[in-house]
Amino acid sequence: MEPYHREFLSSLDANQTPHSGRTLFEHLKGVHDLLRDWGNSEDVCLAGLYHSIYGTNTFKHQSLKERERLVEKIGDHAEFLVFCFSTKDRPLFESVDDPVIRRQLMEIEAANLYEQGGNDKTLGKLMRQKISDGAKATLGGVVR
């Protein structure tokens, strides 16, 4: 991860915002690193790094509201994935018609849930979808 991402997230107080027993920054970096290790594109990894920066249906804290600021940092496609992650139906993103976008969002969700200690039932649903072999191998170690 480039240092300017750490600095930008720090400017948004991600290193001080509580999230799942530690800081939001630690969680976001963990999701990014899983996505990278699973062989995802840079856009997907960056979307993972910022996936809940706008808040989500379960994590209500909004660190950023201006989409243009994030577009400047990570580009159009990665920001679009972040926006969809924050606003679409999780975990399977069934309202997303584009199969590539849907797969990318489910990959981010798999990393998000796994990184937090995950819900076996939801991770099991994700494993039955078209996600990467790397994600399936990791999730297979925890899903019964």
Considering the entire predicted model, what is its pTM? 0.93
- The 8-class DSSP code of residue 142 comes to T
Structural domains of the chain, count: 1
pLDDT of residue 144: 65
Q: Could you tell me the residue range of the domain that residue 102 belongs to?
A: 3-140
How far, in whole angstroms, is CA 17 from its chain's centroid? Answer: 17
pLDDT of residue 135: 96
Contact 113, 121 (CB under 8 A): no
2 vs 92: CA distance, rounded Å = 30
pLDDT of residue 141: 81
Contact 115, 92 (CB under 8 A): no
Structure tokens at 132: 């990467």
Q: Show the low-confidence residues of the chain (pLDDT under 50).
A: none
